[in-house]
Amino acid sequence: MNTMTTTATTTVLDASDVTMRFGGLTAVRSVSLTVNSGEIVGLIGPNGAGKTTFFNCLTGLYVPTEGKVSYKGTVLPPKPHLVTQAGIARTFQNIRLFANMTVLENVLVGRHTRTKEGLWSALLRGPGFKKAEAASHERAMELLEFIGLAHKADHLARNLPYGEQRKLEIARALASEPGLLLLDEPTAGMNPQETRAAEELIFAIRDQGIAVLVIEHDMRFIFNLCDRVACLVQGEKLVEGTPETVQSDERVIAAYLGTPFEGAPGAEEVAEVEAAEAAAPGTDSRTEDPK
Q: Which residues bind ligand ADP (CB under 6 A)?
A: 22, 25, 27, 45, 47-53
Nearer to ligand ADP, 86 or 255 (CB): 255
Q: DSSP letters of 178-226?
A: -SEEEEESTTTT--HHHHHHHHHHHHHHHHTT-EEEEE-S-HHHHHHH-
Nearer to ligand ADP, 177 or 249 (CB): 249
Burial 92-119 (b: 16+ CB within 10 A, else e): beebebeeeebbbbbbbbbbebbeebee
236-241 vs 180-184, strand pairing mode: unpaired
Out of Mg ion, ligand ADP, none, what residue 27 binds, judged by CB under 5 to 8 A for its kind, is ligand ADP
Let me know the angle formed at the C-alpha of 19 by 13 and 25, rounded to the nearest 5 degrees. 145
Nearer to ligand ADP, 113 or 187 (CB): 187
- Segment near Mg ion (CB under 5 A); pick from 48-56, 73-81, 103-111, 118-126: 48-56
Nearer to Mg ion, 51 or 228 (CB): 51
Q: Which of 20, 50, 52, 186 binds Mg ion (CB under 5 A)?
A: 52
User: CB 74: neighbour CB atoms within 10 A?
Assistant: 11
Nearer to Mg ion, 43 or 174 (CB): 43
59 binds Mg ion (CB under 5 A): no
Minimum distance from residue 278 beta carbon to ligand ADP (Å):
24
The residues near 286 (Cβ < 8 Å, ≥ 6 apart) are none
Residues composing the chain: 291
Out of Mg ion, ligand ADP, none, what residue 25 binds, judged by CB under 5 to 8 A for its kind, is ligand ADP
Q: DSSP letters of 40-101?
A: EEEEE-STTSSHHHHHHHHTTSS--SEEEEEETTEEPPS-HHHHHHHTEEE--SS----TTS
- Segment near Mg ion (CB under 5 A); pick from 87-95, 109-117, 150-158, 197-205: 87-95
Minimum distance from residue 90 beta carbon to ligand ADP (Å):
13
Nearer to ligand ADP, 45 or 260 (CB): 45
Out of ligand ADP, Mg ion, none, what residue 178 binds, judged by CB under 5 to 8 A for its kind, is none
Per CB under 5 A, residues contacting Mg ion are: 51-52, 93
